[in-house]
A and B are shown apart, each in its own frame.
Chain A
Amino acid sequence: MSKAFYTLLLLLLLPLAAQASEGEFFITAKPTDQARLLQNWAAQPDPARLALLSALKQGRIGADDSRKVRLNNRLRGLIDNALASHQLLSEDVAVRLAAAQYLQKSAQPAQVAFLDRRLASEPDKGVKAALALALASLQLGASEPRVRLAAVRLLGETGDPQARTRLETLLEPGVESDSTVRTAAQTSLAQVERKLLIGELLGQAFSGLSLGSILLLAALGLAITFGLLGVINMAHGEMLMLGAYATYMVQVLMQRHLPGAIEFYPLVALPVAFATSGGVGMLLERTVIRHLYGRPLETLLATWGISLILIQAIRLLFGAQNVEVSNPGWLSGGLQVLPNLVLPYNRLVIIGFALAVVLLTWLLLNRTRLGLNVRAVTQNRNMAACCGVSTGRVDMLAFGLGSGIAGLGGVALSQVGNVGPDLGQSYIIDSFLVVVLGGVGQLAGSLWAAFGLGIANKLLEPQIGAVLGKILILALIILFIQKRPQGLFALKGRVID
C-alpha cells in the first residue's frame, strides 16, 4: 500500500480534520486512492463535506479555488454517488428524494448500513419508499431469507431494467437456496418484465412518431412545390439545408449580440429560416423554374443543377465541415416517463411543431385568398388566368411558400442531426417517397404517409436491423404504388390526356 493510503486512513480517523485539507488531500492523491476516499465518504457521509463534493462535481475543490481536479469517469461516478449519499442528510425533501432515486441505480454494498439508518429515521413517506427500493437492490445478498424476501417483493414493483438483471442473477441455479424467495423472485421478475415490455412498446411507438414527424417536416415543403406546382424539385433538400444554416447563423449572431436570449434562438430562427429559404425559392422560381412549367421532367434536371450549385456555395462559404448547432436548454435532455422510457424534449417539440406546420399550411391553402388562387392555378392554369388570377405571381408565392416551409423543416432538423452542406441530400429521396406515397397534391396524404413510414420503419428496425428494414420499406412502397398508382389519397376524377 502506498504511503498516501496510510495518510488517508489517518485522515479518516481524525474527525476534526478541516474540510479544506480534505480537498487538498484529494487533489494530490493518486486516482486509486481518490476512488477509495470517495467510497469511504459515501459510506460515512458528513454534512460538512457537502460543499467539497459539490465543488468536486464541477472539477474543483472549492467554490473559490481555481485549480482543476483531473477526473475520469470512474471518479465522476463515485463523486455522484458520494454526493447523493450526503444529500440524504439534506433538510430539503426534494433533494433527499432525488438523492434516494439516484442511489437506486448506484448504491454500493458498503452503503447498506448507512441507508438502513437513514431509512429508519426518514420522516417523509416518498423519500422513505425510494430509499427502501435503493436498499432492496443491495439486500438481495443479505443473509436472512426474510430480508431477501422483502427486497425481492419490493423490486417486483419497479419497472427498472436493473431490477430485472438483479432478479435474474438471483434466479440463476445455485444462487438462491430458499424456495419461498425463489418463487417470489419469479413472480417479481414476471412483473418487472411486463412493465419493461410496456415501456419498450411505448418507446417504439414514440420513436416511430418522432421519425414520422421528421419525415413530415422534410417532405411538407415538397408536397407544395412538387405536389401542387408539379416541379420535380431536386433542390428541395437544399432548401432544408438553407433553413438549417439560417438557424446556425441566428445562433451565432445571438451569441455575439444577444447572449441573454440565446435560449430562444430556435424561435428567432423560425422566421429567419422561412424568409431565407422562401426568398431563395422565389428567386429560383422567377429566374429558372418559371420557364419550365409543363415540362416536369426537365425541372428535375434544372433543379438538380441548382442543388449542386447551392451545396458547393455553402461549402465554400461555411466550409465542408458540419457546423455546430446546439440544443438550447429547453430542448436538451428528456422526460422520464417510465424507468426505461425517456422522451427527449427536442423530439417532443418537433412532433408538436410538425403538426402545427401542417395545420397552418392547410389553413393557408384552404382558408385564404392565396390558397384559393394556388389551388385554382394548379388545377387549371388557363382558366385561372382568364378569371384574372395573376398566375405568375401565384406561382412565385406558392413556390416561395413551399421553400419557406422547407426552411422551417430545416430548423427542426438542425435540432436532431447534422448541419452540413450535404444535409439535404440525405432527406431528398425520403421526401419524394412520402409525397408520392401520400398522393401528389394531398397534404393529408403526406401526413399519413410520413407517420406510416416512420412507425413501420421503427417497428421493423429491432427485428431485422436498420438496413434491411429500410430496404423492405422501399420494396413495400414500390409494391404499394403498383396497387394504387395515385398514392394513398388519390384525387377522384376522370382526367385523361
Chain B
Amino acid sequence: MKRRSLIKAVTLSAGLAAMGMSWTLQAAETIKVGILHSLSGTMAISETSLKDMALMTIDQINAKGGVNGKMLEPVVVDPASNWPLFAEKSRQLLTQDKVAVVFGCWTSVSRKSVLPVFEELNGLLFYPVQYEGEELSPNVFYTGAAPNQQAIPAVEYLMSEDGGAAKRYFLLGTDYVYPRTTNKILRAFLHSKGVADKDIEEVYTPFGHSDYQTIVANIKKFSAGGKTAVISTVNGDSNVPFYKELANQGLKATDVPVVAFSVGEEELRGIDTKPLVGHLAAWNYFESVDNPTNQRFVADWKAYAKAKNLPGADKAVTNDPMEATYVGINLWAQAAEKAQSTDVDKVREALAGQSFKAPSGYTLTMDKTNHHLHKPVMIGEIQDDGQFSVVWETEKPLRAQPWSPFIQGNDKRPDYAVKGN
C-alpha cells in the first residue's frame, strides 16, 4: 500500500514538475479537504459532531483506497462560532491549504459569510443542514433539506386525520432568518389550505431564550380555541427549557402536538424525553430507520466514537445533519472519481445526477441543475428512549425547491445555480 502510493506520488510529482508547478511531495500524496465547523463558542454544541462525522467518513474513504488513488487529508479549523472568522478561515482553507473541497457551516449566517469567498475563489462547499432556501450558488452543494422537503410535508401531516386534524397553528421560532422564512412559507401554504390569519399565531424569541413561561401560557390560551398544533423552529439550546415548561404546565402531545424542525437525536440527548413522548419532528433521516445501510452506518459511528474516545461516546447517536454530511462527502468522492480530478469545475459537473445509497434507506440523487439533494421526508414521534419512531414518510425522495413558490417573486428565479444569488 505504502509502496504503491509512493510510486504514484513520485510519478505524479514528476508529472506535475514537468507541468511547471512547484508542488511539494506532500501535496501530491494526498488530497486536502477542509472541515469548517465551530468547535468552540455557541455553535459547538451542534457542529462538533459533524466534524467527527466528517473525519469518520474520510477515514472510511481512505480505508477503501482514497479518491483517485490518493488519500484524503482532512484540514480541521475552528471558526469559533464567529462569523467573520468563518470567512477568514474559508479563505485560508482555499488559498493557503489549497483544499479541494470544504465541508462545513451550520447556521445560515455562517454560510452567508463564506459564500462571497467561495464564489470569488471558485471553491466548493458542502452544506449539510436544513435551511430556508432562497439561495442557489454554483459553489455550494446543499445536502440538507429545503423548506419543501421538511416544513410543508410536516404541516400536511398535521392537517391529516392521523396527525390530529389541527385547525389552528402556533408558529414558534427563534428570531433569525430560517424560522422567519419557513414561517412565511408556511403561512402562505396554510392560507392556500383555507386557514385564516386568526388561526395562525407567529411568535419569535431571541437566541438563547430560556424562560418559556409566558409563551407556554399563550399556547395554552390559543389552543382553547380549537385543535392546535405548534410548529417549532426554536433553535438549539432553547429547546430544553421550552419542552420542560410544556411538560410541567401539563400540555401533552395528545392535546397540542409540537412538530419541531430543529430537534433531532443529538438535541434529545440533553432532555429527559419521558414527558415528551408523542411530540413530533420532521427530518429526512432518523437514527431509528430500519435498513441494513443505516444499521451499518450507526454501528460504524458508535464504534468510531468509542475508538476515538469522543465525549459521551457510550451514548453516541446519529442525526439528520450527520447523515447529510456523510452523504455529501461520499457524493463528492464519487464525483471526483468520475471526473478523475478534484478540479472544482469538473467535480461540479460530475456531481449533477450523482446518486448514493443513503442510510435513510433511499438512494439519494443530486439534482441535475439545482445543487440540492432529492430527499425523502419523514415525521418521527419522540419515544421515551430519546429516539424517534417514524409515523409517516413520503413515498419517494422529493426534489428541492430552493426558491419556494410561496414567496413572491420567486417564480422569476432560474432553477439553476447563478453566482451572487
Contact present between A and B (CB < 8 A): yes
Task: Give complex CA distance A318, B213 in Å.
Answer: 29
Which one, B39, B175, B214, B244, contacts A462 given CB within 8 A?
B214
Q: Does A316 reach chain B (CB closer than 8 Å)?
A: yes
User: A418 touching B220 by the CB < 8 A rule?
Assistant: no
Measured CB to CB, the nearest residue on chain A to B315 is A324
Stretch at the interface among B104-112, B161-169, B289-297: B161-169
The verdict on B12 contacting chain A, using a C-beta distance below 8 Å, is no
Whether A165 touches B225, Cβ cut-off 8 Å, given contacts A76-B253, A207-B214, A416-B241, is yes
Of A127-135, A282-290, A343-351, the one with at least 4 CB within 8 A of chain B: A343-351
| CB neighbours of B205 from chain A (8 A) | 466-467
Across the interface, name the chain A residue whose C-beta is closest to B242. A417
- B2: chain A residues within 8 A (beta carbon): none
Contact B272 A324 (CB under 8 A): yes
**CB-nearest residue of chain B relative to A207?**
B213
Task: Report the interface size class on chain A.
Answer: 35 or more
- By beta carbon, the residue of chain A nearest B214 is A461
Q: Which of the 9-residue segments A234-242, A326-334, A485-493 touches chain B?
A: A326-334
Q: Is B269 an interface residue (CB 8 A)?
A: yes
- Cβ contact within 8 Å between A76 and B278: yes
- Among A291-299, A368-376, A419-427, A439-447, the stretch that binds chain B is A419-427
Tell yes or no: B240 within 8 A of A by CB. yes
For B225, B244, B391, the residue with the greatest tally of chain A CB atoms inside 10 Å of its CB is B244
A470 proximity list for chain B (CB < 8 A): 206
Known: A211-B213, A332-B275, A417-B240. A74 touches B48 (CB 8 A): no
For residues 14 through 37 of chain A, which have their beta carbon under 8 Å from a beta carbon of chain B?
A: 31-32, 35
A312 at the interface (CB under 8 A from B): yes
CA distance A495 to B250 in the complex (A): 54
Contact of A80 among B45, B204, B254 (CB under 8 A): B254
How many B residues have CB within 8 A of the partner chain?
59
A72-B163 CB under 8 A given contacts A327-B272, A334-B250, A417-B241? yes
Given contacts A76-B278, A332-B248, contact A466 B206 (CB under 8 A): yes
| Chain B residues within 8 Å of A182, by CB | none
Closest CB in chain B relative to A197 CB, distance in Å: 11
Chain A residue at minimal CB-CB distance from B266: A321
Q: Does B299 contact A (CB under 8 A)?
A: no
Contact A466 B214 (CB under 8 A): yes
A118 within 8 A of B: no
B311 with A316: CB separation less than 8 A = yes
Among residues 143 to 178 in chain B, which have CB atoms less than 8 Å away from a CB atom of chain A?
161-165, 175
Give B114 Cβ to nearest chain A Cβ, in Å.
21
Q: Is the CB of A322 within 8 A of B45?
A: yes
Contact with A344, one of B48, B162, B245, B266 (Cβ below 8 angstroms): B245
| B250 adjacent to A336 (CB under 8 Å) | yes
Determine the distance from Cα of A332 to Cα of B163 in the docked complex, in whole angstroms.
27
Residues on A with beta carbons closer than 8 Å to the beta carbon of B244: 327, 346, 416-417
B224 at the interface (CB under 8 A from A): yes
> Residue on A with the closest CB to B213?
A207
Shortest 6 CB-CB distances between A and B: which pairs?
A322-B270, A319-B311, A326-B272, A161-B224, A344-B248, A207-B213
**Chain A interface (Cβ within 8 Å of chain B)?**
31-32, 35, 70, 72-74, 76-77, 80, 160-162, 164-165, 200, 203-204, 207, 210-211, 214, 312, 315-327, 332-334, 336, 340, 342, 344-347, 416-422, 426, 457-458, 461-462, 465-467, 470
Q: Which residues of B contact A (CB under 8 A)?
A: 39-40, 42, 44-45, 48-49, 161-165, 175, 203-206, 208-211, 213-215, 217-218, 220-221, 224-226, 237, 240-241, 244-245, 247-250, 253-255, 257, 266-267, 269-272, 274-275, 278, 310-312, 381, 389, 391
A to B CB contacts below 8 Å, 22 in the list = A161-B221, A165-B225, A319-B310, A321-B49, A321-B312, A322-B269, A323-B270, A324-B269, A324-B272, A334-B249, A340-B220, A344-B245, A346-B244, A418-B241, A420-B237, A420-B270, A422-B237, A426-B208, A462-B218, A466-B209, A466-B214, A467-B205
Known: A77-B255, A417-B244. 12 other contacts (CB 8 A): A72-B162, A73-B381, A165-B224, A211-B213, A332-B247, A332-B275, A340-B224, A342-B249, A422-B45, A426-B210, A462-B218, A466-B215
